[in-house]
Amino acid sequence: ATLNAALSDSHSEKDYQQVYNAIANQIREYDEYDGAIGFGPALVRLAWHLSGTFVGPVGCPHISGGSFGGTIRLPKEASDPANNALENARWVLEPVKKQFSWISYGDLYTLAGVTAVQEMGGPKIGWRAGRKDLGVEYASTGKLPDASRDADYIRSLFVKRMGFTERETVALIGAHALGSCHVQAPVLPGATKSQGVGSGYTGRWTAAPNFFTNEFYRLLLEDKWTPKKWDGPFQYENKDELMMLPTDMALVQDASMKKLVVEYAKDQEKFFKDFAPAFKKLLELGIDFKGNKTYEFKTLDEQDL
């Protein structure tokens, strides 16, 4: 099991703060996107889908996938049905890539996830540079989770295949406070119609989908969730037309995961404290960063921008 060796980091923390700011400004600029949710949630999902293809050394001699090669930019990986609607997230980052052409796609897309979490009021996420764009022979498909499944399936992917603890797994899925599910991909700024399909699920998980909070856990526990009556895939809804996926409901149907949901529903600070290192670990799966430093970026607000 050889880890991808990071390139030595030839830029400074200041350089990456400039990239952070450019990404954050794109989020600000296009705040009307997707029913005024903006691009923040889509950027978190992009970073996760680039990274969450990882297959660890557990029970398998080789590692594959992960964020290192930036391979979600390539048609083979981009067209995995699990990545439906993510071309919009890549679209909003393309001007940033043009401005900072020295940054790799893997670094750009993971930094965009960090930027989005922080700009939406989430915890600071430590981030390291050094990923290198790889070709299509490194693209991964069929590795992202199927939302129709149960708790054992989530464990088999996150714990067994990617090497997360159960606590890290439940913390990561709390990102479903953000964004929404789409039958059709949201219409891009300046376009008149959708360019493609989404996951097929529909609706927002929370009433404030561009604020990073522990609302996902609170709603999961406290609301009444019933099967949605519609022609689409099986999902849950509450009286306010918010939604849960089968895999989300699995977190309260499983006794040991439910304990963690209860803990995070009560204590947002604890959720933030656990989410930040888990998200950093996700973005770094399969990579040996050598001596490259961990950076922590300021939000636009903290810079009075």
Catalytic residue among 48, 176, 182, 205: 205
**Residue 93 interacts with ligand CCH (CB under 6 A): yes or no:** no
Q: State the residue number with the nearest CB to ligand CCH.
A: 179
Q: Which of the ranges 63-71, 131-139, 198-206, 252-260 carries the binding residues for ligand CCH, by CB under 6 A?
A: 198-206
**Positive or negative, the Cα torsion across 204, 206, 208, 214?**
negative
**Residue 63 interacts with ligand CCH (CB under 6 A): yes or no:** no
- The answer to whether residue 11 is catalytic is no
Among positions 201, 216, 217, 264, the unique one binding ligand CCH when judged by CB under 6 A: 201
**Whole-angstrom distance, CA of residue 171 vs CA of residue 52:** 15
Q: Which is nearer to ligand CCH, 92 or 108 (CB)?
A: 92
In this structure, the chain runs to a length of: 305
| Tokens read off for 283 | 């973005």
Give the number of other CB atoms < 10 A from CB of residue 2: 9
CB of 130 to ligand CCH, least distance (A): 21
Maximum Cα interatomic distance, the chain, rounded to a whole number of Å: 54
Q: Which is nearer to ligand CCH, 201 or 295 (CB)?
A: 201
**Residue 247 interacts with ligand CCH (CB under 6 A): yes or no:** yes
CB of 138 to ligand CCH, least distance (A): 21
Among positions 9, 16, 20, 45, the unique one binding ligand CCH when judged by CB under 6 A: 45
Q: Considering only residues 126-185, where is the footprint of ligand CCH by CB under 6 A?
A: 145, 147, 154, 172-173, 175-176, 178-182
Measured CA angle at 17 (ends 13, 22), to 5 deg: 150
**Residue 48 interacts with ligand CCH (CB under 6 A): yes or no:** yes
Q: Which is nearer to ligand CCH, 6 or 85 (CB)?
A: 85
Q: Which is nearer to ligand CCH, 9 or 169 (CB)?
A: 169
- The full DSSP string for 2-70 is PPEEPPP--S-HHHHHHHHHHHHHHHHHTTTHHHHT-SHHHHHHHHHHHHTT-B-STTSSS-B-SSTT-
Q: Which of the ranges 17-25, 55-63, 194-202, 222-230 carries the binding residues for ligand CCH, by CB under 6 A?
A: 194-202
Local structure of 100: helix, strand or coil: coil
- The answer to whether residue 49 is catalytic is yes
Which of these, 114, 123, 122, lies nearest to 17 by C-alpha position? 114
CB of 173 to ligand CCH, least distance (A): 5
Question: What is the rounded radius of gyration, in angstroms, for the C-alpha atoms of the chain?
Answer: 18
Please answer whether residues 240 and 232 qualify as being in contact, where contact means their C-beta atoms are separated by less than 8 angstroms. Answer: no
Among positions 24, 33, 41, 225, the unique one binding ligand CCH when judged by CB under 6 A: 41
Tell me the site size for ligand CCH, rule CB under 6 A. Answer: 24
Catalytic residue among 48, 49, 182, 225: 49
Local structure of 287: helix, strand or coil: strand
* 236, containing H or E segment: strand 236-237
* 197, containing H or E segment: none
Please answer whether residues 161 and 56 qualify as being in contact, where contact means their C-beta atoms are separated by less than 8 angstroms. Answer: yes
Catalog residues that contact ligand CCH under the rule CB under 6 A.
41-42, 44-45, 48, 85, 145, 147, 154, 172-173, 175-176, 178-182, 198-199, 201, 245, 247, 279
Q: Could you give the residue numbers annotated as active site?
A: 49, 205
